[in-house]
Amino acid sequence: MTTPTPAVQAAIDAVRDDFAGHPVEVVPDGAGGAYVVVDGVHLGGQYTPPTTWLGFQINAAYPRSDVYPHYIGRIARHDGGSLGEAVTDTEWRGRPALQLSRRSNHWNPAVDNAALKAEKVITWFAAK
């Protein structure tokens, strides 16, 4: 099994720092990247459950490639409303999941990184 590239490992370390206090599971993808799952992510009281996991793959092309898409555990709105566009019911790595499609069309490796992207996706979804 190929271990994560140095850039991917640095991104994993940054995710661990950014989500300090949250369990972070990392599984090498066998091609130099890694699958990352952050547990205990709070999405807001409008959802049930309000806390779930966040998963994504950092591929071997990182930092030259976007970290996309992101996944969370299946949740629902308390008011029974729709989760809106860019959210798809699916499975990810054997887990029931919602895919959150937030592509960064202008990904810039000098500015963007995996931890920041995860925070942006959480902020976007929590504000829905």
**Would you state the pLDDT for residue 46?**
95
Average confidence score pLDDT of the chain: 96
Instruction: Flag whether 18 is in a domain.
Output: yes
Report yes or no on 36 lying in a domain: yes
Report the 3 state secondary structure along 21-38.
CCCEEEEECCCCCEEEEE
pLDDT given at position 128: 85
**108 pLDDT exceeds 90?**
yes
How far is CA 128 from each of CA 15, 22, 108, rounded to the nearest angstrom? 23, 23, 26
Q: What is the mean pLDDT of residues 73-87?
A: 94
Instruction: Answer whether 0.85 is exceeded by the pTM.
Output: yes
* 21 within a domain of the structure (yes/no): yes
Q: Tell me whether residue 1 is in a domain.
A: no
- How many domains in the chain? 1
Percent with pLDDT over 90 in the chain: 96
Do residues 80 and 112 touch, judged by C-beta distance below 8 A? Answer: no
Q: What is the pLDDT of residue 120?
A: 96
pLDDT of residue 1 exceeding 70: no
- Which domain does 40 fall in, by range? 6-127
Q: pLDDT value at position 119?
A: 97
Residue 28 lies in a domain: yes
In the predicted model, is pLDDT for residue 78 greater than 80?
yes
Q: Is 11 part of a structural domain of the chain?
A: yes
> Which pLDDT tens digit goes with each residue over 13-53?
999 999 999 999 999 999 999 999 999 999 999 999 999 99
Amino acid (one-letter) located at 114: A
- The yes-or-no verdict on residue 100 having pLDDT over 90 is yes
